[in-house]
Homo-oligomer: A and B are copies of this chain.
Amino acid sequence: MASLDAIFSPKSVAVIGASTRRGSLGREILHNIIEYEFHGTLFPVNPKADFIHSIKCYPSVLDIPDAVELAIVVVPADAVPHVLRECGEKGVKGIVVISAGFKETGEDGAKREQELVRIVRDYGMRLIGPNCMGVFGTHPKVRLNATFAPMMPIDGDVAFMSQSGAMGVAILHAIGRMNVGFSFFASVGNKADVSGNDLLTYWEGDERTRVIALYLESFGNPRRFTRLAKRISRHKPIIAVKSGRTPAGARAATSHTGALAGGELAVDALLSQVGVLRAESIEDMLDLVVAFSRCPLPRGNRVAVLTNAGGPAIMATDALLAAEMSMAKLSQETKEDLKSFLPDEASVINPIDMIASARAEDYRRALEVLLDDPGVDLAIVVSVPPHMLVPDDVAEAITQVSRRHAKPVLGTFMAKEEFYETFPKRHPDCPPLYRFPESAARAAASLYRYRRWQQRPVGEVRTFEVDRDAALELTQSQLDKGGGPMSQENAFALLRAYGVPVAAVSRVADVEEAVAAAERIGYPVVLKASDARIEHKSDVGGVALDLRSDSDVRSALHVMRDGIHKTRGLEVEAFVVQRQAAPGREVILGMAQDPLFGPLLMFGSGGRYVEVFKDIAFRVLPLTDVDAHEMIESIKGYTLLTGFRGEPPVDLVTAEEMILRVAQLVSDFDCIREMDINPFLLTPQRADCMAVDVRIRLGDPGSAAQDLAP
């Protein structure tokens, strides 16, 4: 694939469809390129004009005497293929198609879009769009603003990709208002050729880009995104807003896992697993972008809050604690330093309330002292105007102090609206300035969360020795029968082939066989109905626990057989006798296929009520040992696993290994469409840990994906 240099740092640009009519896209783009002073040569192309915006105009790109690296195409949709072919002939390397009228309009448009892709592939060109708002790059040696947005970019370190042109411009505008600068912007439109993933790769290598921001409405290739984002987020923060819901109700899932695996859960799992900071709203995204652009990362989560009023400091403290930050404990020395110049009524216990009389000089001295305290990792400075709304002197003081320190400082100023725009213009290296204490607190928490992500071990995707042939045989024989749910015996065998221990089981046909099996296994035992037509055995009285004698087994079997016959009209095919498991914790280990994201692994508190209490964690593949570990730690029931009220802890190493083995199994066999190991019993000893019950459904990956698609 050719690089994106031709698009983002061309030496010459043709605007094909340039226009003289004010307000038309072809005129606005040309105007923006000139106005922003593109560092290269610009060629308007329009057969009906001799010059546009004072520049000589050519009838077609082929008529331009010089080389053309990038073409911005603004002609009507049906003329675009012809124009692209001419570009190919001319040797143009990069294309941005602004024109709409492609995939977004239906089938005819989709065909036309495919034609564009063929043409650019034929000529080795790269294309952004169609149906987009354009791109810009601010490097002083390029200075290309090929958008029709009514604003000029500010040079900076944020690269921003938007899947919606309109939202893109609105976000650009809002970020620009805070005087945060961009390195690149791309509105990717229909993503016919250049995808979000291509941009991520390109921006990864760009030295100026320190922060990547994404407005996403869908994922083209989530598995490639996973790999890329995981790598890039190690050294550059990626902040994303993802809109759009998947109607989870549309699925016909028969497993616990399938019923719980909605589209948004998959998106959440994916983003957090690869270190992407998911913003909850556009506003949240703006707050994070300005923080990451203006602040270093904190070493820890200990925050000092410096204020001239109690109220907003309490709000900040509330929001910090809710986001798992902590309030720094100030050293004795720090407290004494503060006391030496603050009035008696001031509080030198964090939050540090200098009371309403505080002046800019007090802010300067106090912030200096706080940042010097090794127990403080970052500071939030709150300034509320006691009489007058002129906080510039306080903002200047904290800007000066923060310059000298490697710790983040975030400001909360209650000021007139102009302040937030004008102050950063005059002081481009000022701390991020928020209107409300909660915004500063949430942004501070994200800085710390990202710092932790960077320090988190990468982990590895472990591969265990397994009996893949046996698994292949088991799955193939089920697929030969047309797929569907495996028998419990075969499902257990499949787990065993991948090293997942399972309960000892005897399949029996009648009472006498059941009693014989129970005596062989040893009491107490469990009796279960075994019939592929029954989805959740315990719902139909198909499970009897803790049977302690022959007569217990006899009566349980009779009750079960008659009950199921009566309620479901089924003659139960067979029964299963298992040894009653050792005391332990029931967890669920499951998998459901997402049409887009592939296998979603689930771990959580197990039992019959998984869907009710939803104490679960999801992850996508590939799954590392660190991911598995975090899954276990993230559920509420983790407290029980580590030993609740003096009970012995379960074997967590085995728990982690089991998740990884299941990951290996479902990644080797994509014919596994759904799986519930529920309960998987975790006990203190590895030897007692086992899958007690399992449901596995096989199917054709292709058709199943369609079945599950919303």
Contact = CB atoms under 8 A, between A and B. Distances in A.
A646 to B, nearest CB: 6
A387 B245 contact: no
A393 interface: no
A282 B245 contact: no
B217 A314 contact: yes
B640 A317 contact: no
B314 A244 contact: yes
Contact of A308 (B166, B387, B536): B166
A282 B612 contact: no
A645 B215 CA distance: 41
Contacts of A104: 345
A448 interface: no
A333 interface: no
B310 A164 contact: yes
Contacts of A314: 217, 243-245
Given A345-B105, A356-B166, A645-B536, A640 B615 contact: no
B245 A150 contact: no
Contacts of A608: 644
A185 to B, nearest CB: 15
Interface stretch (A167-175, A461-469, A479-487): A167-175
Nearest to A281: B438
B150 A384 contact: no
Q: Is the interface on chain A under 10, 10 to 19, 20 to 34, or 35 or more residues?
A: 35 or more
B170 A215 contact: no
Contact of A243 (B217, B315, B387, B612): B315
A311 B417 contact: no
Nearest to A177: B417
A314 B435 CA distance: 26
Contacts of A646: 539
A612 B643 CA distance: 12
A436 B283 CA distance: 7
Given A283-B435, A421-B417, A217 B170 contact: no
A330 B354 CA distance: 57
Interface in A211-250: 215, 217, 241, 243-245
B105 A436 contact: no
Interface string A542-573: 00001010000000000000000000000000
A312 interface: yes
B310 A148 contact: no
Given A28-B387, A167-B309, A536-B645, 13 more contacts: A164-B311, A166-B384, A170-B312, A244-B314, A245-B314, A245-B317, A281-B315, A282-B315, A282-B437, A283-B436, A283-B438, A548-B548, A613-B637
Which A-B residue pairs are the 8 nearest by beta carbons? A164-B311, A166-B309, A167-B311, A170-B414, A166-B384, A281-B438, A243-B314, A539-B645
